[in-house]
Homo-oligomer: A and B are copies of this chain.
Amino acid sequence: MSEHYLGIDLGGTNIKTGVMDPAGRVCSKLSVPTEAKHGPDDGIDRMCRAGRDAVEQAGLEMDRIRAIGIGSPGPLNHKQGTVSPANMPGWQDVPLRDRIGRHFDLPTTLENDGNVAAWGEFWVGAGRDADSLVMFTLGTGIGGGIVVGGSFIRGFFDNGAEVGHMIIDPRGRMCNCGQRGCFEAHASAAHTANMATEAVQAGRRSSLKDVLDCGESITTERIVEHMQAGDELAREVWHDACKAIAIGTINLSHIINPELVVLFGGMVYAADLLLDPVNEYYKSLRSAIFADNYARIVPAELGNDAGFIGAAGAAKLRAERGELD
């Protein structure tokens, strides 16, 4: 009986894949380099081989797999099943869904990487007992996923849950996307590091200057270290990011009003150093009239596995709804 699902999560650096049983248990998982620079044909071959290896590693024959779910960075075109990941030059309108579906001769669904990660956390992670959730993936940029009403929000133009590009400060920082004041421009790991670097370069006194003087780059890890050692600029920049995350959370709490906001990404591993100030700003900035009707903020639980788990989960969702036949 074919009741298992294969998830394949395409990233700019790695392809993560694994097999999930219908109860949401991981039967196998593995990771291989994407080598995106070798182009999409090579990349698709790698995805197929990794997928096949994951099925074998799970001790299953291919006929036990009911459907395949793929997660990919956007932009993607859901109707056509194509992807053009912004961070993978040369990958333009790649027909990922049909190429992989044909290779395995299995029903295949293609979804945005933020949505599959959110769906993974909803299925078996931090949100497994929740009614609904919004996920923020705090990395170089800020992505996200929205799970509500038992499904995720794909968007009419396939650009749903791009929470990183809501404007939270029209006089704020310029975002890579071309908008001023995006959530991402105020809270992503890359922009937080940039804020510190710019301040040091502008002559602001800070122990972070030593990092630049050694020819290294300022990262959020360095910012956290220097903040803990008492550096004021590091503290300020970190708190500005926490405040922006709180504002993003307030906004999604008003718009979606989910049970949970799940935070994921390198910055979250600073754990209480991030969650405590975020929660403080979250409580002090928000409105009293909505009382406690705000989402609870929790860290993600599945780490980098959320993508392939959620991709497999999205295949299960769509297969059970008869949308993949």
A interface list, Cβ under 8 A from B: 75, 86, 131-132, 146, 148-149, 151, 153-171, 175, 177-180, 243, 247, 250-259, 285-290, 292-295
Give the distance in Å from the alpha carbon of A287 to the alpha carbon of B167 in the complex: 11
Identical chains bound together, number: 2
Whether the Cβ atoms of A156 and B131 lie closer than 8 Å is: yes
* Closest B residue to A287 using CB positions: B177
Do residues B175 and A287 form an inter-chain contact, with CB atoms below 8 A?
A: yes
Asked if A160 meets B287 with Cβ closer than 8 Å, knowing A149-B151, A149-B153, A167-B247, the reply is no
> Is B294's CB under 8 angstroms from A157's CB?
yes
Q: A178-B289, A287-B179 are in contact. Are A255 and B146 (CB under 8 A)?
A: yes
| A251–B170 alpha-carbon span in the complex (Å) | 12
The answer to whether B289 and A258 have CB atoms under 8 Å apart is no
A151: chain B residues at CB < 8 Å are: 149
Q: Are A257 and B290 in contact (CB under 8 A)?
A: no
Chain B residues, CB < 8 A from A250: 165-167, 179
6 contacts between A and B (CB under 8 A): A75-B290, A166-B166, A166-B250, A167-B168, A167-B251, A179-B285
Let me know if B167 and A170 touch, CB within 8 A.
no
Is the pair A289, B86 in contact by a Cβ cutoff of 8 Å? yes
Is there contact, CB below 8 Å, between A160 and B256? yes
CB closest chain-B residue, reference A251: B166
Does A255 contact B157, Cβ atoms closer than 8 Å?
no
Chain B residue nearest to A157 in the complex (CB): B293
Docked-complex contact A257 and B162, CB < 8 angstroms: yes
Contact A171 B168 (CB under 8 A): no
User: How far is it, in angstroms, between the C-alpha of A290 and the C-alpha of B287 when the chains are bound?
Assistant: 32
B178/A287 in contact, CB under 8 A: yes
Tell me, in angstroms, the Cα distance from A243 to B177 when the chains sit together: 19
